[in-house]
Chain A
Amino acid sequence: MKVLVAVKRVVDSGIKVRVKPEGIDLQGVKMTINPFCEIAVEEAVRLKEKKLIAEIVAVTIGPKQGAESLRHALALGADKAIHVTTEARIDQAVQPLDVANILAKLVERDNYNLVLMGKQSIDDDFNQTGQMLAGLLDWPQATFASNIQITDGVAQVIREIDGGLQTVKFKLPGVITCDLRLNQPRFASVPNIMKAKSKPLETIPLDKLGKLHNSIQITKTEAPAVRKGGAIVENVDVLLQKLRTEAKLF
Chain B
Amino acid sequence: MQIIRNRFMVNHIPRFGFKYMSDSTFLNEEHLQIQKAALDFAKEKMLPYSAEWDKKHHFPKDVLRELAAMGFSTIYVKQESGGVGLDRLTASVIFEALSYGDVTTTAYLTIQNMCAYMVDQFGNEEQKKTWIPRFGTFDAFASYCLTEPNSGSDSKNMKTFAKKDGNDYVINGSKCFISGGSVSDVYLVMCKTSEKDVSCILVEKGTPGLSFGKLEDKMGWNASPTAMVLFDNVRVPQSNLLGKEGNGFKMAMSALDGGRINIASCSLGGASFAFDLTKDYLHDRKQFGQPLAAFQGLQFKFADMATNLVTSRLIVRQAAQMIDNSHPDKTLYSAMAKRYATDSCFNLANEALQLHGGYGYLREYQVERIVRDLRVHQILEGTNEIMKVIISRNLLK
Contacts and interface: CB of A to CB of B under 8 A. Distances in A.
Interface of A: 14-16, 30, 32, 68, 71-72, 75, 187-191, 193-194, 197
A193 B75 CA distance: 13
A194 B84 contact: yes
Interface stretch (B33-41, B117-125, B178-186): B33-41
A37 B326 CA distance: 42
B17 A188 contact: no
Contact of A30 (B15, B22, B70): B22
A104 B72 CA distance: 40
Nearest to B15: A14
B219 interface: no
B72 A71 contact: no
Contacts of B41: 187
B71 interface: yes
Given A71-B29, A72-B33, A191 B19 contact: no
A187 B40 contact: yes
A16 B16 contact: yes
B253 interface: no
21 contacts: A14-B15, A14-B17, A15-B19, A71-B29, A71-B33, A72-B33, A72-B36, A75-B33, A187-B40, A187-B41, A187-B70, A188-B33, A188-B37, A189-B37, A190-B34, A190-B71, A190-B72, A190-B94, A193-B37, A194-B84, A197-B30
B304 to A, nearest CB: 23
A72 B37 CA distance: 10
Interface string B10-22: 0000011101001
B307 to A, nearest CB: 19
A65 to B, nearest CB: 9
Contacts, number: 46
A197 B33 CA distance: 11
A72 to B, nearest CB: 7
Nearest to B69: A189
Contacts of B94: 190
Interface string B78-112: 00000010100000001000000000000000000
Interface of B: 15-17, 19, 22, 29-30, 32-34, 36-37, 40-41, 69-72, 75, 84, 86, 94
Contacts of B19: 15, 30
Given A187-B41, A187-B70, A193 B30 contact: yes
Contact of B71 (A32, A71, A191, A197): A191
Nearest to A196: B33
Q: Which of B15, B32, B36, B40 has the most CB of A within 10 A?
A: B36
A23 to B, nearest CB: 20
Contacts of A71: 29, 33
Contacts of B30: 193-194, 197
Given A72-B36, A190-B71, 12 more contacts: A16-B16, A68-B32, A71-B33, A72-B33, A187-B70, A189-B69, A190-B37, A190-B86, A190-B94, A193-B34, A194-B84, A194-B86
Nearest to A190: B71
Contacts of A197: 30
A191 B84 CA distance: 7
Contacts of B69: 189
A44 B22 CA distance: 29
Contacts of A188: 33, 36-37
A227 B37 CA distance: 35
Nearest to B43: A14
A193 B17 contact: no
Nearest to B22: A30
Given A16-B16, A30-B22, A190 B84 contact: yes
Q: Closest 5 CB pairs between A and B?
A: A190-B71, A189-B70, A188-B37, A191-B71, A189-B71
Contact of B33 (A30, A191, A193): A193
Nearest to A16: B16
Contacts of B34: 190, 193
Contacts of B16: 16
B276 to A, nearest CB: 11
Contacts of B71: 189-191
